[in-house]
Amino acid sequence: MNTNTGGGGEFGQRQTQGPIVPKTAAEALRPEAGTPPPLSKRSRASRSQIVVFLNFFLSVAILFVLASGAALYFGMEAFVEPGPSANGDTFLIKPNTGVQEIADQLERRNLISDARIFRLGVRASGNDQSLKPGEYAIKPHASMRDIMDLLKSGKSVMYSLTIPEGLTVEQALERVADQEALTGAMPAAMPPEGSIATDTLRYPRGYTRQQIVDKLLADQKKLVEEVWAHRAPDLPIANQQDFVTLASIVEKETGRGDERSRVAAVFLNRLAKGMRLQSDPTIIYGLFGGKGKPADRPIYQSDIDKQTPYNTYLIKGLPPTPIANPGRAALEAVANPSKTDDLYFVADGSGGHVFAATLDEHNQNVARYRALQKKQADAAAKASGQTTAPAAPDDNATGGTDGGSTGVGPGAAGENGDAGGDDAQ
């Protein structure tokens, strides 16, 4: 057995320390690992805490950007996709309501799917200060963008209020008070008769009743001044008050546009001659005031004899105030009446009137009208199986037509139409 004293297991090398460890032939022939290379500066730096933190921060930032991009993408998709409401609805924004509250209300009403997306979408588009108060009609399945554009446009739901020609101020204000979309109290004082415009107004929910009344008053004032400024130069009318008063009588006497100016001419001719106007609507106003005559209440002969400041069968000239709110057509008819000598008119039985310049001619027209009334009553009685025409409400009732007027016009209170014959001065 040979002893190797010159190495540590490899041929030709001396081992100076440690015991000699015998090796097998396979181990002796296997190469041993060399000396590892020294660590580079870069490898040591990559293991520092700062680099690790920066790598972590960068990874988080990348993930955040990716997540934000995904959220933005899906948020934009949700902002423009059809909404959840199958039927649509109206939506009210009160003044000084912020975007967050609007978004929450829309979500609670199931008009949008997510209030946060709506709020962010509005702000991202720069419209967070552009949503206007009002009531809006939101269509079925409207997207959040559609709703935003609608609220930004200010195109509110509009309501209508119609004041027909011939209503009194009291009757007109009842219509204003009944408007559910209006807010606030009615005016404390009743405006003057004849001062309300007969028109159709459109307004958004939230308008006050006082605002509506103020506009009706302003519109009528403007209209009266405009028509009065273009009146015929020879009218026997002293001022705008009398002008509106006579226009209100014309308004109540006829609803026919083709005969208003002729009816106005009759009254103006009678004023010029100092004759009483003898207009049935003035009797009604004197008896019932602004509330108006009940529909089933005829005019009686005894009503014609009742003394009131408005009974133009008894007073001379115009009544103290208008008896209704006249419209533009009645005002223009008085401002520029027909050129005629007519002093009388009577209903013709078909919604219009027959005019006359003399009392004799007028009495003939009245007789024809009475005969027509009797014929119609007999025909109605025959159709209903009665042997005679139904009796009048009492012996004093006159033959009323056209919304309560006797329909026989000036000078025709009596059966012979001669009540006005003594009026000529």
What is the full DSSP assignment across 288-356?
HGGG---TT-PPBHHHHTS--TT-TTTSSS--SS-SS---HHHHHHHHS-------EEEE-SSSSEEEE
Same domain for 169 and 257? no
Same domain for 274 and 307? yes
Residues spanned by the domain of 366: 234-383
Same domain for 149 and 173? no
Residue 208 lies in a domain: yes
Residue 403 lies in a domain: no
What's the structural domain count of the chain? Answer: 3
Q: Are 213 and 187 in contact (CB under 8 A)?
A: yes
Same domain for 309 and 214? no
Same domain for 142 and 266? no
Same domain for 132 and 243? no
- For the stretch 345-371, pLDDT in tens is 999 888 899 999 999 999 999 999 999
Residue 423 lies in a domain: no
Q: How far is Cα 138 from Cα 157, in angstroms, rounded to an integer?
A: 10
Q: Are 159 and 181 in contact (CB under 8 A)?
A: yes
**Closest among 391, 367, 357, 364 to 377, alpha carbons compared:** 391
Q: How far is Cα 290 from Cα 53, in angstroms, rounded to an integer?
A: 88
Task: Return the pLDDT at 380.
Answer: 84
Task: Return the pLDDT at 406.
Answer: 37
CATH of the domain at 110: 3.30.1490.480
- By CB neighbour count within 10 A (0-12 exposed, 13-18 middle, 19+ buried), where does 186 fall? middle
Q: How far is Cα 328 from Cα 297, in angstroms, rounded to an integer?
A: 29
- By CB neighbour count within 10 A (0-12 exposed, 13-18 middle, 19+ buried), where does 132 fall? middle
Task: Return the pLDDT at 76.
Answer: 79
CA distances from 108 to 84, 95, 166, 359 (A): 12, 19, 47, 75
pLDDT tens string for the chain (425 positions)?
A: 454 544 444 444 555 555 666 667 666 666 666 666 665 555 555 557 777 777 777 777 777 666 666 556 566 788 889 999 999 899 999 989 999 999 999 999 999 999 999 999 999 889 989 999 999 999 999 999 999 999 999 999 999 999 999 999 999 999 999 999 999 999 999 999 999 999 999 999 989 999 999 999 999 999 999 999 999 999 999 999 999 999 999 999 998 989 999 999 999 999 999 999 999 999 999 999 999 999 888 888 899 999 999 999 999 999 999 999 999 999 999 999 999 999 999 998 888 999 999 999 999 999 999 999 898 888 888 887 765 544 444 433 343 333 333 344 554 443 333 333 333 33
Q: Give the tokens for residue 271.
A: 């004023």
Residue 238 lies in a domain: yes
Is 46 strand, coil or helix? helix
Quote the radius of gyration of the chain (alpha carbons, Å): 48
State the distance between the two ends of the chain, measured CA to CA, in whole angstroms.
Answer: 175
Task: Return the pLDDT at 403.
Answer: 33
Residue 396 lies in a domain: no
Is 401 strand, coil or helix? strand
Is 90 strand, coil or helix? strand
Task: Return the pLDDT at 55.
Answer: 72
Task: Return the pLDDT at 107.
Answer: 95
Q: How far is Cα 14 from Cα 232, in angstroms, rounded to an integer?
A: 145
Q: Give the tokens for residue 182.
A: 């209006």
Q: Are 285 and 319 in contact (CB under 8 A)?
A: yes
Beta-carbon neighbour count of residue 310 at 10 Å? 20
Q: Which of these three, 153, 179, 210, is where a domain ends?
A: 153
CA distances from 96 to 132, 134, 149 (A): 9, 11, 18
Task: Return the pLDDT at 396.
Answer: 37
Is 195 strand, coil or helix? coil
146: left (phi over 0), alpha (psi -120 to 50) or beta: alpha
Q: Are strands 89-93 and 134-138 parallel, antiparallel or unpaired?
A: antiparallel
Same domain for 292 and 260? yes
**Closest among 378, 149, 409, 110 to 275, alpha carbons compared:** 409
Q: Give the tokens for residue 303.
A: 């009503």
HSE-CB for 363 with a 13 A CA cutoff: 11
Q: Give the tokens for residue 229.
A: 């400024």
Q: How far is Cα 201 from Cα 154, in angstroms, rounded to an integer?
A: 18
Residue 368 lies in a domain: yes
Same domain for 145 and 162? no
- By CB neighbour count within 10 A (0-12 exposed, 13-18 middle, 19+ buried), where does 369 fall? buried
Residue with tokens 């100076």: 16
Residue 297 lies in a domain: yes
Same domain for 242 and 373? yes
Same domain for 269 and 143? no
Same domain for 270 and 185? no
Residue with tokens 């001419």: 265
Task: Return the pLDDT at 240.
Answer: 96
Residue 67 lies in a domain: no
The reported pTM is: 0.72
Q: How far is Cα 186 from Cα 175, in angstroms, rounded to an integer?
A: 11
Same domain for 379 and 242? yes
CA 277 to chain centre: 41
